Amino acid sequence: MKVSVDADKCCGAGSCVLLAPDVFDQREEDGIVVLLDAEPPQELHDAVREAADVCPAAVIALSQ
Ligand code: SF4
């Protein structure tokens, strides 16, 4: 799985960080998403998919 984020669209809601803190973080100054791991291990895939689903701004894109 490959993960990418369009940080320009991020509204800093933080749901992704709550669901997958090993993959997503937020910038301290404005809460904008920071991608920590663009190729997360298998055991994190479900959490990453859920994060992409719940992201209110559809910032998180997944590919194989
Ligand atoms: S859930 Fe989406 S909008 Fe919220 S911080 Fe994460 S990437 Fe940004």
- 63 pLDDT exceeds 90? yes
SS3 33: strand
Q: Which of 29, 34, 60, when mutated, tests ligand 1's pocket best, judged by the most ligand atoms within 8 Å of its CB?
A: 60
Ligand 1 in contact with 23 (CB < 6 A)? no
Which pair of structure tokens corresponds to residue 55? 């992201």
Q: Report if pTM > 0.75.
A: yes
Q: How far apart are the CA of 17 and the centre of ligand 1, in A?
A: 8
- pLDDT single digits (tens) 24-57: 999 999 999 999 999 999 999 999 999 999 999 9
Domain boundaries, the chain: 2-63
Ligand 1 in contact with 15 (CB < 6 A)? yes
Domain boundaries 2-63, corresponding CATH code: 3.30.70.20
Confirm if 23 and 59 have CB atoms less than 8 A apart. Answer: no
Encode 24-59: b = buried (16+ Cβ within 10 Å), e = exposed: bbbeeeeebbebeeeebeeebeebbeebbeebeeeb
- 64 pLDDT exceeds 90? no
